[in-house]
Amino acid sequence: MTDDLTAGAQIFSWMGCTTNYIISKVLNGKRISPREVRSLYRLPLSILGGLADARKYLTKSGCRSSERPKDRIVTYIVDRNINYTNVCNVYCKFCAFYRTEKSSDHYVLSLEEIDQKLAELDAIGGVQVLLQGGHHPKLGIDYYLTMLEHIRKRYPRINIHGFSPPEFYHFAEVFKMPIREVIARFHEAGLGSIPGGGGEILVDRVRRHISPLKCSAYQWLEAMRTAHELGIRSSATMMFGHVETLEERVEHLVRLRALQDETCGFTAFICWTFQAAHTRLRASPVGAAEYLRMQAISRIFLDNFRNLQSSWVTQGPRIGQISLGYGANDFGGVMMEENVVSSAGTTFHLTSSDIEELIQSAGYMPKRRNTWYELLQ
């Protein structure tokens, strides 16, 4: 692989010595600067993918607990999304899922309804529930703590991967409580880890345009820093392909890399493209090629992230499979239920067998994992 890519670098010598120098840095596992990303971004997609694939195994992580992925192993998880409410008062322009309290189809799930969903997950050997909802203006802390304690007691082997930084800031406001205390109390009640929801683009110019009532970039990072300090690990995300520039995408990655240098608290990075159907955001979505390009750039730049997850939920199974050659080493989850992305017009479903077949046919070895990327029998 390395020899092939070195030859590729020589073929593209017309791009100049600077580009070849950057390619050499990638292949030798050295850290890439934000300014060097644009040179990589201009490379032909196949060359960039090859660099990301090589980097996946060559780079040594700066986090003690994050060794590089093992060669030819691609992981996945058996999980389910549960959206405990669709009531939300932040009205993000890119979201087709939220409802107001006046909407005829608004809801708040009962414990009995949550139990039914978790029993189905437990029956197929599921080990994670992604628990997220809207910013409900009237639900008190007792609703959340009771729900967490109930799930932990009833389904002890299912990790609660729940909420998000914007939700925690919303809770802090509604409960009139410091955000550190909110996160600590949720953790004590049963919260095991935090997904990277609400990240979008961690640049406030973009956030003011697409989600002006949601927490700021600084607040998102501060919530994750607080969680990591409390011993709670989390994932990180990026939703791109709407109103942001390439420089703003890079700034997003810079901020994630810096926090990971500080805390080593992120388990994985997942990026996906804006899904436009039924939303109020006036932006032309980008295609699969741009998704693969950013997936590759992210693998190269985020040198202290062990795991990069494919986004087959938004891109479809075939592109999800192809992304394994563009830096991804994880295929995400079975995701028995998904409501947010599907509300925006994108609906794909895969079983465990489907995922394993896609991984194997791409030349990799599928392995089930838990939330913390530990391999399961």
- pLDDT interval class at 285 (50, 70, 90): confident
- The better pLDDT of the pair 84, 89 is held by 84
Residue 104: the pLDDT is 65
The Cα–Cα gap between 116 and 145 comes to: 19
* 343 pLDDT more than 50: no
Q: What is the pTM of this model?
A: 0.88
pLDDT tens digits, one per residue of 11-48: 444 456 678 999 999 999 999 999 999 999 999 999 99
What pairing do the DSSP bridges indicate for beta strands 330-333 and 234-240? Answer: unpaired
Torsion angle, CA of 128/141/230/377, rounded to 10 degrees? -10
Tens of pLDDT, residues 187-218: 999 999 999 998 999 999 999 988 888 899 99
Helix axis angle, 217-229 to 246-263, nearest 10°: 20
| The predicted structure's pLDDT at residue 288 | 93
Residue 118 has pLDDT above 80, yes or no: yes
pLDDT at residue 58, as a whole number: 75
Whether residue 262 has pLDDT greater than 80: yes
Mean pLDDT for the stretch of residues 127-132: 94
| The CATH number of the domain covering residues in 73-368 | 3.20.20.70
Q: Write out the residue limits of the CATH 3.20.20.70 domain(s) in the chain.
A: 73-368
Residue 66 has what pLDDT?
46
Whether residue 267 has pLDDT greater than 50: yes
First to last CA, the chain: 30
Mean pLDDT of the chain: 87
- Tally Cβ neighbours within 10 Å of residue 69: 18
Beta strands in the chain (DSSP E): 73-77, 79-83, 128-132, 159-162, 191-193, 234-240, 266-273, 307-309, 330-333, 365-368
Give the residue with greater pLDDT, 363 vs 137. Answer: 363
CA 368 to chain CA centroid, Å, is 18
Number of H helices, E strands in the chain: 16, 10
pLDDT digits (tens, 9 = 90+) for 140-191: 999 999 999 999 999 999 999 999 999 999 999 999 999 999 999 999 999 9
In this prediction, residue 287 carries a pLDDT of: 87
Q: Give residue 57's pLDDT.
A: 83
pLDDT of residue 269: 98
Return the minimum-mean-pLDDT range out of 37-41, 240-244, 322-326: 240-244
Average pLDDT over residues 231-236: 98
Residue 125 φ/ψ region, left for φ over 0, alpha for ψ in the -120 to 50 degree band, beta for the rest: left
Q: In what order do the strands lie in the sheet with 73-77?
A: 234-240, 266-273, 307-309, 330-333, 73-77, 365-368
Supply angle C-alpha 139, 337, 126, rounded to 5: 100
Question: Looking at residue 314, what is its pLDDT?
Answer: 87
Residue 61's alpha-carbon distances to 28, 37, 138, 252, in angstroms, are 13, 19, 43, 19
pLDDT on residue 280: 58
